[in-house]
Structure 1
Protein backbone atom coordinates (compact mmCIF):
# COMPACT_ATOMS: atom_id res chain seq x y z
CA UNK A 1 0.00 0.00 0.00
CA UNK A 2 1.31 3.45 -0.92
CA UNK A 3 2.07 5.92 1.84
CA UNK A 4 -0.30 8.82 2.43
CA UNK A 5 2.12 11.04 4.31
CA UNK A 6 5.61 12.30 3.65
CA UNK A 7 8.46 11.24 5.93
CA UNK A 8 10.92 13.87 7.17
CA UNK A 9 13.00 14.96 4.17
CA UNK A 10 16.24 14.23 6.06
CA UNK A 11 15.28 10.55 6.33
CA UNK A 12 14.72 10.12 2.59
CA UNK A 13 18.23 8.90 1.61
CA UNK A 14 18.12 6.14 4.24
CA UNK A 15 14.72 4.76 3.22
CA UNK A 16 14.37 1.59 1.19
CA UNK A 17 14.01 1.89 -2.56
CA UNK A 18 10.31 0.99 -2.35
CA UNK A 19 9.72 3.59 0.37
CA UNK A 20 11.41 6.25 -1.76
CA UNK A 21 9.29 5.21 -4.73
CA UNK A 22 6.19 5.59 -2.54
CA UNK A 23 7.22 9.15 -1.70
CA UNK A 24 7.89 9.97 -5.36
CA UNK A 25 4.51 8.51 -6.31
CA UNK A 26 2.82 10.85 -3.82
CA UNK A 27 4.54 13.89 -5.32
CA UNK A 28 4.52 12.95 -9.01
CA UNK A 29 2.39 10.66 -11.15
CA UNK A 30 3.86 7.16 -10.80
CA UNK A 31 6.34 6.21 -13.53
CA UNK A 32 9.38 3.95 -13.52
CA UNK A 33 11.32 6.50 -15.58
CA UNK A 34 10.93 9.23 -12.97
CA UNK A 35 11.81 6.78 -10.22
CA UNK A 36 15.04 5.77 -11.98
CA UNK A 37 15.94 9.41 -12.61
CA UNK A 38 15.20 10.60 -9.05
CA UNK A 39 16.62 7.71 -7.02
CA UNK A 40 20.31 8.61 -7.62
CA UNK A 41 19.55 12.26 -6.79
CA UNK A 42 17.97 11.22 -3.50
CA UNK A 43 20.72 8.75 -2.62
CA UNK A 44 23.60 11.12 -3.42
CA UNK A 45 22.45 14.41 -1.87
CA UNK A 46 20.89 15.80 1.26
CA UNK A 47 17.86 18.02 0.96
CA UNK A 48 16.54 20.40 3.57
CA UNK A 49 12.99 20.49 2.24
CA UNK A 50 10.72 18.82 -0.28
CA UNK A 51 10.82 21.95 -2.48
CA UNK A 52 14.64 21.53 -2.58
CA UNK A 53 14.26 17.93 -3.77
CA UNK A 54 11.62 18.88 -6.34
CA UNK A 55 13.87 21.69 -7.57
CA UNK A 56 16.72 19.19 -8.09
CA UNK A 57 14.38 16.91 -10.06
CA UNK A 58 13.17 19.91 -12.10
CA UNK A 59 16.77 20.85 -12.91
CA UNK A 60 17.59 17.30 -14.01
CA UNK A 61 14.46 17.10 -16.19
CA UNK A 62 15.18 20.48 -17.79
CA UNK A 63 18.74 19.30 -18.54
CA UNK A 64 17.19 16.35 -20.39
CA UNK A 65 14.97 18.75 -22.35
CA UNK A 66 17.94 20.91 -23.36
CA UNK A 67 20.15 17.95 -24.29
CA UNK A 68 17.38 16.39 -26.36
CA UNK A 69 19.02 12.97 -26.03
CA UNK A 70 16.58 11.20 -23.72
CA UNK A 71 13.31 12.27 -25.30
CA UNK A 72 11.54 8.89 -24.89
CA UNK A 73 12.33 8.88 -21.15
CA UNK A 74 11.14 12.47 -20.79
CA UNK A 75 7.95 11.79 -22.75
CA UNK A 76 7.25 8.73 -20.60
CA UNK A 77 7.47 10.93 -17.50
CA UNK A 78 5.34 13.74 -18.93
CA UNK A 79 2.93 11.25 -20.48
CA UNK A 80 2.21 9.73 -17.07
CA UNK A 81 -0.11 12.63 -16.30
CA UNK A 82 -3.79 12.02 -16.97
CA UNK A 83 -5.66 13.90 -19.65
CA UNK A 84 -7.28 16.96 -18.17
CA UNK A 85 -10.94 16.62 -17.39
CA UNK A 86 -11.02 12.88 -17.97
CA UNK A 87 -10.39 10.01 -15.61
CA UNK A 88 -7.19 8.18 -16.45
CA UNK A 89 -8.05 4.99 -18.30
CA UNK A 90 -7.03 1.91 -16.39
CA UNK A 91 -5.16 -0.69 -18.39
CA UNK A 92 -3.07 -3.69 -17.45
CA UNK A 93 0.01 -1.46 -17.03
CA UNK A 94 -1.63 1.60 -15.52
CA UNK A 95 -3.08 2.57 -12.20
CA UNK A 96 -6.25 4.59 -12.11
CA UNK A 97 -6.17 8.35 -11.57
CA UNK A 98 -4.23 9.17 -8.40
CA UNK A 99 -6.16 10.62 -5.48
CA UNK A 100 -4.18 13.84 -5.83
CA UNK A 101 -5.08 14.15 -9.53
CA UNK A 102 -8.74 13.49 -8.75
CA UNK A 103 -8.79 16.41 -6.33
CA UNK A 104 -6.69 18.70 -8.54
CA UNK A 105 -8.93 18.15 -11.58
CA UNK A 106 -12.27 17.98 -9.80
CA UNK A 107 -13.58 21.28 -11.21
CA UNK A 108 -12.46 20.32 -14.73
CA UNK A 109 -14.74 17.29 -14.73
CA UNK A 110 -17.71 19.42 -13.71
CA UNK A 111 -19.63 21.67 -16.08
CA UNK A 112 -21.62 21.36 -19.25
CA UNK A 113 -21.29 18.63 -21.85
CA UNK A 114 -20.22 21.05 -24.60
CA UNK A 115 -17.19 22.16 -22.56
CA UNK A 116 -16.34 18.55 -21.73
CA UNK A 117 -16.41 17.65 -25.43
CA UNK A 118 -14.23 20.66 -26.30
CA UNK A 119 -11.71 19.71 -23.61
CA UNK A 120 -11.59 16.13 -24.94
CA UNK A 121 -11.08 17.52 -28.46
CA UNK A 122 -8.25 19.77 -27.27
CA UNK A 123 -6.57 16.84 -25.51
CA UNK A 124 -6.69 14.95 -28.81
CA UNK A 125 -5.39 17.92 -30.84
CA UNK A 126 -2.59 18.45 -28.36
CA UNK A 127 -1.49 14.82 -28.53
CA UNK A 128 -1.57 14.90 -32.34
CA UNK A 129 0.55 18.07 -32.36
CA UNK A 130 2.98 16.71 -29.76
CA UNK A 131 3.12 12.89 -30.11
CA UNK A 132 4.17 11.20 -26.90
CA UNK A 133 3.21 14.12 -24.69
CA UNK A 134 0.20 14.89 -22.55
CA UNK A 135 -0.87 18.44 -21.85
CA UNK A 136 0.34 19.13 -18.32
CA UNK A 137 -0.61 22.26 -16.43
CA UNK A 138 -0.81 23.24 -12.78
CA UNK A 139 -4.59 23.73 -12.61
CA UNK A 140 -4.40 25.57 -9.28
CA UNK A 141 -8.15 26.20 -9.05
CA UNK A 142 -8.55 27.52 -12.59
CA UNK A 143 -11.70 26.63 -14.49
CA UNK A 144 -12.17 24.90 -17.82
CA UNK A 145 -12.36 28.12 -19.84
CA UNK A 146 -8.98 29.40 -18.69
CA UNK A 147 -7.36 25.99 -19.07
CA UNK A 148 -8.76 25.51 -22.59
CA UNK A 149 -7.50 28.96 -23.61
CA UNK A 150 -4.03 28.03 -22.37
CA UNK A 151 -4.23 24.71 -24.23
CA UNK A 152 -5.24 26.40 -27.48
CA UNK A 153 -2.33 28.84 -27.18
CA UNK A 154 0.18 26.08 -26.59
CA UNK A 155 -1.14 24.03 -29.50
CA UNK A 156 -0.97 27.09 -31.79
CA UNK A 157 2.59 27.86 -30.65
CA UNK A 158 3.64 24.39 -31.83
CA UNK A 159 7.05 24.41 -30.12
CA UNK A 160 7.94 20.91 -28.89
CA UNK A 161 10.93 21.93 -26.73
CA UNK A 162 8.91 24.68 -25.06
CA UNK A 163 6.11 22.18 -24.42
CA UNK A 164 8.59 19.85 -22.77
CA UNK A 165 9.85 22.74 -20.61
CA UNK A 166 6.30 23.80 -19.71
CA UNK A 167 5.38 20.21 -18.88
CA UNK A 168 8.38 19.85 -16.56
CA UNK A 169 7.65 23.16 -14.84
CA UNK A 170 3.97 22.29 -14.40
CA UNK A 171 4.73 18.79 -13.15
CA UNK A 172 7.10 20.19 -10.53
CA UNK A 173 4.66 22.97 -9.54
CA UNK A 174 2.07 20.24 -9.00
CA UNK A 175 4.59 18.23 -6.92
CA UNK A 176 5.36 21.29 -4.76
CA UNK A 177 1.66 21.87 -4.19
CA UNK A 178 1.15 18.22 -3.25
CA UNK A 179 4.11 18.34 -0.85
CA UNK A 180 2.75 21.47 0.81
CA UNK A 181 -0.70 19.89 1.26
CA UNK A 182 0.67 16.55 2.49
CA UNK A 183 2.98 18.23 4.99
CA UNK A 184 0.18 20.50 6.23
CA UNK A 185 -2.12 17.50 6.67
CA UNK A 186 0.50 15.62 8.67
CA UNK A 187 0.89 18.49 11.16
CA UNK A 188 -2.85 18.69 11.87
Structure 2
Protein backbone atom coordinates (compact mmCIF):
# COMPACT_ATOMS: atom_id res chain seq x y z
CA UNK A 1 0.00 0.00 0.00
CA UNK A 2 1.10 3.56 -0.54
CA UNK A 3 0.26 6.65 1.44
CA UNK A 4 -2.26 9.12 0.07
CA UNK A 5 -1.40 12.78 -0.15
CA UNK A 6 -1.42 14.29 3.33
CA UNK A 7 -3.97 16.89 2.16
CA UNK A 8 -6.44 14.09 1.47
CA UNK A 9 -6.56 12.77 5.07
CA UNK A 10 -9.65 14.79 6.12
CA UNK A 11 -11.72 13.24 3.32
CA UNK A 12 -10.70 9.62 3.89
CA UNK A 13 -12.92 6.98 5.48
CA UNK A 14 -12.29 5.69 9.00
CA UNK A 15 -11.09 2.39 7.52
CA UNK A 16 -8.57 4.17 5.31
CA UNK A 17 -7.29 6.24 8.24
CA UNK A 18 -6.93 3.03 10.31
CA UNK A 19 -4.90 1.45 7.50
CA UNK A 20 -2.61 4.48 7.40
CA UNK A 21 -2.07 4.36 11.17
CA UNK A 22 -1.39 0.61 10.92
CA UNK A 23 1.17 1.15 8.16
CA UNK A 24 2.98 3.84 10.09
CA UNK A 25 2.81 2.44 13.62
CA UNK A 26 1.48 -1.14 13.88
CA UNK A 27 -2.11 -2.36 14.08
CA UNK A 28 -3.51 -1.21 17.41
CA UNK A 29 -7.18 -0.70 18.28
CA UNK A 30 -6.04 1.39 21.26
CA UNK A 31 -4.09 3.73 18.94
CA UNK A 32 -7.11 3.95 16.64
CA UNK A 33 -9.29 4.94 19.59
CA UNK A 34 -6.78 7.57 20.71
CA UNK A 35 -5.89 9.12 17.36
CA UNK A 36 -8.85 8.77 15.01
CA UNK A 37 -11.25 11.13 16.80
CA UNK A 38 -8.81 14.02 16.39
CA UNK A 39 -6.73 13.21 13.29
CA UNK A 40 -9.49 14.29 10.93
CA UNK A 41 -10.70 17.28 12.95
CA UNK A 42 -7.31 18.70 13.87
CA UNK A 43 -6.41 18.59 10.17
CA UNK A 44 -4.08 21.06 8.64
CA UNK A 45 -1.22 18.56 8.53
CA UNK A 46 1.26 19.58 5.88
CA UNK A 47 3.37 16.43 6.12
CA UNK A 48 3.31 12.91 7.50
CA UNK A 49 6.05 13.94 9.92
CA UNK A 50 3.62 16.54 11.28
CA UNK A 51 0.91 13.90 11.66
CA UNK A 52 3.34 11.54 13.41
CA UNK A 53 4.54 14.33 15.74
CA UNK A 54 0.91 15.07 16.59
CA UNK A 55 0.23 11.42 17.43
CA UNK A 56 3.45 11.41 19.47
CA UNK A 57 2.06 14.35 21.46
CA UNK A 58 -1.13 12.38 22.12
CA UNK A 59 0.98 9.44 23.32
CA UNK A 60 3.12 11.63 25.61
CA UNK A 61 -0.07 13.11 27.07
CA UNK A 62 -1.34 9.59 27.69
CA UNK A 63 2.02 8.75 29.31
CA UNK A 64 1.41 11.56 31.79
CA UNK A 65 -1.03 9.34 33.69
CA UNK A 66 -1.09 9.37 37.48
CA UNK A 67 0.07 6.18 39.19
CA UNK A 68 -3.48 5.21 40.13
CA UNK A 69 -4.87 5.74 36.62
CA UNK A 70 -4.76 2.14 35.40
CA UNK A 71 -7.07 2.77 32.43
CA UNK A 72 -4.69 5.29 30.82
CA UNK A 73 -1.65 3.17 31.68
CA UNK A 74 -3.24 0.06 30.14
CA UNK A 75 -4.23 2.01 27.00
CA UNK A 76 -0.66 3.29 26.62
CA UNK A 77 0.82 -0.15 27.16
CA UNK A 78 -1.59 -1.66 24.61
CA UNK A 79 -0.35 0.84 22.02
CA UNK A 80 3.33 0.33 22.87
CA UNK A 81 2.84 -3.44 22.96
CA UNK A 82 1.55 -3.49 19.38
CA UNK A 83 5.15 -3.52 18.17
CA UNK A 84 6.58 -7.01 17.72
CA UNK A 85 9.38 -8.33 19.86
CA UNK A 86 12.75 -7.81 18.25
CA UNK A 87 14.02 -11.05 16.79
CA UNK A 88 10.54 -12.60 17.01
CA UNK A 89 10.89 -16.08 15.54
CA UNK A 90 7.32 -16.22 14.14
CA UNK A 91 7.98 -14.00 11.12
CA UNK A 92 4.50 -14.59 9.71
CA UNK A 93 3.05 -12.60 12.61
CA UNK A 94 5.07 -9.51 11.71
CA UNK A 95 3.89 -6.73 9.46
CA UNK A 96 5.77 -6.33 6.18
CA UNK A 97 7.47 -3.22 7.57
CA UNK A 98 8.59 -5.01 10.75
CA UNK A 99 9.97 -7.95 8.75
CA UNK A 100 12.08 -5.56 6.67
CA UNK A 101 13.23 -3.57 9.72
CA UNK A 102 14.24 -6.70 11.62
CA UNK A 103 16.06 -8.36 8.72
CA UNK A 104 19.40 -7.03 10.07
CA UNK A 105 18.75 -8.73 13.39
CA UNK A 106 19.23 -12.17 11.89
CA UNK A 107 22.15 -13.94 13.49
CA UNK A 108 23.39 -17.18 14.86
CA UNK A 109 21.32 -19.38 17.14
CA UNK A 110 23.20 -18.31 20.27
CA UNK A 111 22.52 -14.63 19.57
CA UNK A 112 18.88 -15.37 18.77
CA UNK A 113 18.55 -17.17 22.10
CA UNK A 114 20.19 -14.26 23.92
CA UNK A 115 17.79 -11.80 22.29
CA UNK A 116 14.79 -13.95 23.30
CA UNK A 117 16.14 -14.04 26.87
CA UNK A 118 16.59 -10.25 26.91
CA UNK A 119 13.03 -9.81 25.67
CA UNK A 120 11.84 -12.01 28.56
CA UNK A 121 13.89 -10.11 31.17
CA UNK A 122 12.80 -6.76 29.74
CA UNK A 123 9.12 -7.71 29.93
CA UNK A 124 9.56 -8.99 33.50
CA UNK A 125 11.32 -5.77 34.47
CA UNK A 126 8.70 -3.59 32.80
CA UNK A 127 5.36 -5.44 33.05
CA UNK A 128 3.01 -4.54 30.24
CA UNK A 129 5.74 -3.07 28.05
CA UNK A 130 7.62 -4.43 25.10
CA UNK A 131 11.09 -3.25 24.10
CA UNK A 132 10.72 -0.87 21.16
CA UNK A 133 13.74 0.59 19.39
CA UNK A 134 14.35 2.20 16.03
CA UNK A 135 16.80 -0.34 14.63
CA UNK A 136 17.87 1.91 11.72
CA UNK A 137 20.66 -0.32 10.47
CA UNK A 138 22.02 -1.21 13.91
CA UNK A 139 23.10 -4.80 14.36
CA UNK A 140 21.92 -7.33 16.89
CA UNK A 141 24.85 -6.72 19.26
CA UNK A 142 24.22 -2.99 19.48
CA UNK A 143 20.49 -3.52 20.00
CA UNK A 144 21.14 -6.08 22.77
CA UNK A 145 23.55 -3.67 24.54
CA UNK A 146 20.88 -0.97 24.36
CA UNK A 147 18.29 -3.36 25.76
CA UNK A 148 20.63 -4.39 28.60
CA UNK A 149 21.25 -0.74 29.47
CA UNK A 150 17.57 0.05 29.54
CA UNK A 151 16.86 -2.98 31.73
CA UNK A 152 19.66 -1.94 34.11
CA UNK A 153 18.28 1.61 34.29
CA UNK A 154 15.00 0.12 35.56
CA UNK A 155 12.88 3.26 34.98
CA UNK A 156 9.44 2.27 33.66
CA UNK A 157 8.32 5.83 32.96
CA UNK A 158 11.46 6.51 30.94
CA UNK A 159 10.85 3.26 29.06
CA UNK A 160 7.42 4.50 28.06
CA UNK A 161 8.96 7.72 26.75
CA UNK A 162 11.74 5.77 24.94
CA UNK A 163 9.13 3.56 23.29
CA UNK A 164 7.08 6.57 22.17
CA UNK A 165 10.18 8.21 20.67
CA UNK A 166 11.12 4.97 18.93
CA UNK A 167 7.58 4.44 17.59
CA UNK A 168 7.55 7.94 16.13
CA UNK A 169 11.04 7.52 14.61
CA UNK A 170 9.97 4.20 13.08
CA UNK A 171 6.74 5.76 11.74
CA UNK A 172 8.66 8.65 10.15
CA UNK A 173 11.08 6.24 8.53
CA UNK A 174 8.20 4.13 7.21
CA UNK A 175 6.38 7.20 5.89
CA UNK A 176 9.50 8.34 4.06
CA UNK A 177 10.00 4.94 2.47
CA UNK A 178 6.35 4.62 1.47
CA UNK A 179 6.29 8.11 -0.02
CA UNK A 180 9.52 7.53 -1.96
CA UNK A 181 8.19 4.22 -3.28
CA UNK A 182 5.08 5.93 -4.67
CA UNK A 183 7.04 8.62 -6.57
TM superposition score normalised by structure 1: 0.92
Does residue 129 (structure 1) correspond to residue 131 (structure 2)? The answer is no
Q: Distance in 1 between matches of 2:8 and 2:180?
A: 18
Shift of 1:98: 0.2
Shift of 1:87: 3.9
Secondary structure at the residue paired with 1:67? coil
Does residue 80 (structure 1) correspond to residue 69 (structure 2)? The answer is no
Secondary structure at the residue paired with 2:182? helix
Aligned counterpart for 1:21 among listed residues 6, 18, 21: 18
Q: Deviations over 1:49-74 (max 9, x none)?
A: 00000000001101111234410000
Does residue 12 (structure 1) correspond to residue 9 (structure 2)? The answer is yes
Does residue 116 (structure 1) correspond to residue 118 (structure 2)? The answer is no
Shift of 1:88: 4.9
Q: What is aligned with 1:66?
A: 64
- Counterparts of 1:160-179 in structure 2, within 5 Å, are 160-179=156-175
Q: Which runs of 5+ in 1 are unaligned?
A: 91-95
Q: Distance in 2 between matches of 1:76 and 1:89?
A: 21
Aligned counterpart for 2:49 among listed residues 51, 55, 62: 51
Distance 1:53 1:88, change over 3 A: farther
The answer to whether the 8 Å contact 1:41/1:56 transfers is no
Does residue 32 (structure 1) correspond to residue 29 (structure 2)? The answer is yes
Root-mean-square deviation over aligned CA pairs: 1.2
Count of matched residue pairs = 178
Q: Which runs of 5+ in 2 are unaligned?
A: none
Shift of 1:44: 1.2
Does residue 183 (structure 1) correspond to residue 179 (structure 2)? The answer is yes
The answer to whether the 8 Å contact 2:91/2:99 transfers is no
Q: What is aligned with 1:93?
A: none
